[in-house]
Chain A
Amino acid sequence: MPVPTIADPPPSAGPKPQGQPSQKTMTKAERRELQEKQRAAKAALKQQPPQGQSKQQQGGNAGASGQQKAKVPPTPQKKSFGAEVSASKQHASASKDGGASGAAAEELTGKQLSHGLRIFSHFGQPKPVGHTIKGDIHPATIRLGLLFSEFKICGANARCIAMLTAFKQVIQDYTTPSHSTISRHLMTHLSPQITHLVSARPMSVTMGNAIRELKLEISGIDIDMIEQDAKKKLYDYINTYIQDRITTADKVIQELAGKKVKDGDVILTYARSSVVEKILLSAHSEGKKFSVMVVDSKPLLEGKELLKSLTNGPNPIPCTYALLPALPSLLPEVTTVFVGAHALYSNGAVYSRAGTAMVAMMAKANSVPVVVCCETYKFSDGVMVDGFSKNELVPLSIIQKNSTDRGLAPALHLETLNPLYDLTPPTYITAVVTEVGLIPPSSISSIPLALGKTSL
């Protein structure tokens, strides 16, 4: 089974904790469980503030880490830290399911899948409970893992920024063991954090790229450097990375793509991309007269959020909202399609929110230009030819939380699949707007080299 490497635990890992024969440990575990349940409930309460606010919290510098740490429950025994974490995760995911029925439904899904089509078996399923990670997990990472798994932080940019900000805290609180050096040891400290985040949700390409760069930076630290200086260096490095590759890149893209919006245009966009949102808002603030069509679809219906921000304020952008099946009726009036991306592969294919490929395909059929807005740090070296080979499923609980209707409960012979991504072939794409300019999708592979990357 071609599973993502670290994401899936061996199948035997699940029932192990329950299989403990000793009566004494059982009761102990039960006591701990109760404790953790209360903690998880508390943590869940804390996570209620909306994404923007929580991001702000994270965006604060590491000086706030003390305050952050105070919020996270202190762990009683240093020795059993790892076990504690996994236990808390168990309960978090259980409570997220909205009680026993939800958990049962998800279990059924898992069981069904093994009976069902084997071609779907590699899709990342919601992680089974009882997944243990060795090593110390920083509270900031646990918090972030929860936010990821509940889709409170969603989107390639937001996830990458949140991860890097959490890592700043992790590095801040890290002390090098006496017998080792920071350049050698820090990565072994970070890797369980990464594993934890990946177990919450499969890693995004952006996160992978950022981690790779960070690793390179860590390994490049001089052994003789004082620890505090090295930390400072890494700290600055992360800040620069966020600044250069994401924040400033977005501003440049905003400017470049903004030139493609003209008076009287009808811009169509799909779901919600932070970059596209910024482009539209800035073009509107420049006084351009255009209207926007927001096309949206299950599973996440993110377009509504975009719609809210576009129509917010005293001077809203004229908007039309429709679901994906209505797209062919809208397209004859559209002048340009703007979409965001999760990742770009070197063959020019765009890996993005499920449905983007359909929008691009229909736009191409109607001779409407399709412009993909994407920072260069989202570029991936690999080649992808099919949205089927790598994908992620949205857990049922998330969908039910996002919409009022309950959908269809899985039953015998019946299964609901909610793939999160699809792959748009390069033939449907007119241009990719990056911070280094507008390029055709066929030239994607040359960009990393042009940016100074020495080897492929």
Chain B
Amino acid sequence: MVSETRSAATSRSVEVLAQKLRRRQVVGSRAAALETLLVLRQVISKARFSNLEQLVAIIRDAGRRLVDAQPKEHSVGNTVRKILHHIREEFHAATRGTVVAKPASFSISKFVLQGQPRKHAVLPKSESKGTLRENDPDDPDSFARGLKPVLMEAIQDVLDELETVYDNISKNAKDHIHSDEIILTLGMSKTVEQFLKSAAHSHNYSVIIAETAPSYDGRIMAKSLSEAGISTFLVPDSSVFALMSRVNKVILGAHVILANGGMFAVSGSLMVATAAKAHSTPVVVCAGQFKLTPLWNLYHEYGAHDFGNPSDVLGFENGDLVDKVDVVNPYYDYVQPELIVAYITNDGDHPPSSIYRLLKETYDDEDNEL
């Protein structure tokens, strides 16, 4: 009886977030990731389980409901995957305490045969007989009691990471932007905004910002940066090609970083990146690690199939045009890995070609499908 009301409460909190995501009341990758994390923490703290499988199943269930609510907000799924990965890691750390330490020597042949070194941390169940005991018939809650404090700590770590993500990304900003450079960016990305502001502490440089129709978010960015004392030029999207020859570096934000090193980003990014490629201008992407997604975009390149409000493009003030014309307003562009030079994340700088490795380290393969 008690457990039922508890699970009802947690399921309600999951449902509330799912509603918010569905109604786009929670927007932005970081906000969504934070909310997800808070809900998952609640789910775990209230959950009753006597072995790892049960716990994973509970989290997956909650995660699936959140992801289904807003499949385009990939940071939700990423957060769930990350938590699952941490849980497994903590579990193995806790159970391994009694087991003989793994031989530390790795050879190429072992690497080839066994894959990632971390992989053989998965131990046969029979060996786990330390303080943590799964499926204890005498005290079914002992497993949960033993594991929960460590799990909470792990979640707190992820939370801390999310909260300091901007600081960590912009930590090295001054090494990427130099004095008197001209930087081009587009749209409004919190990450890029922090990055540029942080670079402005040590260098004097100029930023050209494309307005990014139809949201014209670039104006918000321009306002914020100019108020921070950075010399800012706001231009329409159309003039990016003309100005690109004078730009030293293009800095973009990302919506999702894909496993192949490409990304989904605000529409307009592909054009800017292609123009930069045509002028051999390096394109650097600033993004938090929570945007890494074990997804591939091999077959459909059509704007990630997410569309915005057409009235932003052609409003009703245009009279009967609205009836006669199809209006397209895609949210995202798919930017191929060939167009990107580097990703600057809170976990260091990476070329697009090593994103897959980062993914393998961050998530467990079995969670790719939640």
Interface set of A (CB-CB < 8 Å, partner B): 116-117, 119-120, 297-299, 304, 307-308, 311, 316, 318-330, 332, 353-355, 357-358, 361-362, 365, 386-388, 391, 404-405, 407-408, 411-419, 421-423
In contact, A325 and B234 (Cβ under 8 angstroms): no
Please tell me which one of the listed residues A308, A319, A328, A418 contacts residue B235 in the complex, with CB atoms under 8 A apart.
A418
In contact, A298 and B236 (Cβ under 8 angstroms): yes
In contact, A357 and B234 (Cβ under 8 angstroms): no
Residue from A321, A391, A415 having most chain B Cβ neighbours under 10 A: A321
In contact, B242 and A391 (Cβ under 8 angstroms): yes
Chain B nearest CB, measured from A95 CB (Å): 25
In contact, B237 and A388 (Cβ under 8 angstroms): no
Q: CB of B293 within 8 A of chain A?
A: no
In contact, B325 and A299 (Cβ under 8 angstroms): no
A sample of 7 cross-chain residue pairs with beta-carbon separation below 8 angstroms, ordered by A number, consists of A297-B213, A297-B236, A297-B238, A304-B314, A358-B240, A404-B315, A411-B227
Please tell me which one of the listed residues B236, B267, B271, B325 contacts residue A354 in the complex, with CB atoms under 8 A apart.
B236
Specify which chain A residues have a CB less than 8 angstroms from the CB of B270 in the assembled complex: 328, 362
Chain A nearest CB, measured from B233 CB (Å): 5
Known: A332-B301, A416-B235. Contact between A325 and B267, CB under 8 A?
yes
Q: CB of B318 within 8 A of chain A?
A: yes
Known: A414-B234, A417-B234. Contact between A324 and B213, CB under 8 A?
yes
In contact, B271 and A325 (Cβ under 8 angstroms): yes
Please tell me which one of the listed residues A321, A386, A387, A404 contacts residue B328 in the complex, with CB atoms under 8 A apart.
A321
In contact, A415 and B232 (Cβ under 8 angstroms): yes
Interface bits B198-242 vs A (CB < 8 Å: 1, else 0): 000000001000011110100100110011011111111111111
For the complex of A and B, the 6 pairs showing the least CB-CB separation, nearest first, are A355-B238, A325-B268, A414-B226, A422-B242, A387-B242, A298-B236
Measured CA separation A421–B227 after assembly (Å): 29
Chain A nearest CB, measured from B278 CB (Å): 6
Specify which chain B residues have a CB less than 8 angstroms from the CB of A319 in the assembled complex: 324-326
Measured CA separation A310–B230 after assembly (Å): 44
Given contacts A297-B237, A354-B236, A387-B241, 10 further A-B contacts (CB under 8 A): A298-B237, A307-B321, A318-B326, A321-B313, A324-B271, A328-B334, A355-B237, A416-B234, A417-B233, A422-B239
In contact, A407 and B238 (Cβ under 8 angstroms): no
CB within 8 Å of A: which of B316-370?
Answer: 317-318, 321, 324-330, 333-334
Total A-B contacts with CB atoms under 8 angstroms apart: 175
Specify which chain A residues have a CB less than 8 angstroms from the CB of B239 in the assembled complex: 354-355, 417-419, 422
Measured CA separation A339–B66 after assembly (Å): 46
In contact, A326 and B267 (Cβ under 8 angstroms): yes
In contact, A320 and B236 (Cβ under 8 angstroms): no
Measured CA separation A418–B330 after assembly (Å): 24
Measured CA separation A223–B324 after assembly (Å): 60
Measured CA separation A230–B240 after assembly (Å): 49
In contact, A413 and B229 (Cβ under 8 angstroms): yes
Q: Count residues of B near A (Cβ-Cβ below 8 Å).
A: 55
Chain B nearest CB, measured from A9 CB (Å): 25
Please tell me which one of the listed residues B213, B266, B275, B302 contacts residue A361 in the complex, with CB atoms under 8 A apart.
B275
Residue from A316, A387, A391 having most chain B Cβ neighbours under 10 A: A387
Specify which chain A residues have a CB less than 8 angstroms from the CB of B38 in the assembled complex: none
Known: A298-B213, A319-B325. Contact between A415 and B241, CB under 8 A?
no
In contact, A361 and B278 (Cβ under 8 angstroms): yes
Specify which chain A residues have a CB less than 8 angstroms from the CB of B329 in the assembled complex: 322-323, 326
Q: CB of B274 within 8 A of chain A?
A: yes
Known: A321-B314, A329-B328, A332-B302. Contact between A414 and B223, CB under 8 A?
yes
In contact, B237 and A307 (Cβ under 8 angstroms): no
Specify which chain A residues have a CB less than 8 angstroms from the CB of B213 in the assembled complex: 297-298, 323-325
Specify which chain A residues have a CB less than 8 angstroms from the CB of B245 in the assembled complex: 386-388
Q: Nearest chain-A residue to B240 (Cβ)?
A: A358
Specify which chain B residues have a CB less than 8 angstroms from the CB of A354 in the assembled complex: 236, 238-239, 241-242
Specify which chain A residues have a CB less than 8 angstroms from the CB of B317 in the assembled complex: 404
Please tell me which one of the listed residues A321, A326, A421 contacts residue B303 in the complex, with CB atoms under 8 A apart.
A326
Specify which chain A residues have a CB less than 8 angstroms from the CB of B227 in the assembled complex: 411, 413
Chain A nearest CB, measured from B301 CB (Å): 7
Known: A329-B330, A415-B233. Contact between A299 and B271, CB under 8 A?
no
Please tell me which one of the listed residues A117, A307, A328, A412 contacts residue B325 in the complex, with CB atoms under 8 A apart.
A307
Measured CA separation A421–B333 after assembly (Å): 25
Measured CA separation A422–B233 after assembly (Å): 17
In contact, A413 and B232 (Cβ under 8 angstroms): yes
In contact, A357 and B241 (Cβ under 8 angstroms): yes
Measured CA separation A298–B236 after assembly (Å): 6
Specify which chain A residues have a CB less than 8 angstroms from the CB of B334 in the assembled complex: 328
Q: Nearest chain-B residue to A333 (Cβ)?
A: B302
Chain B nearest CB, measured from A41 CB (Å): 27
Q: Nearest chain-A residue to B236 (Cβ)?
A: A298
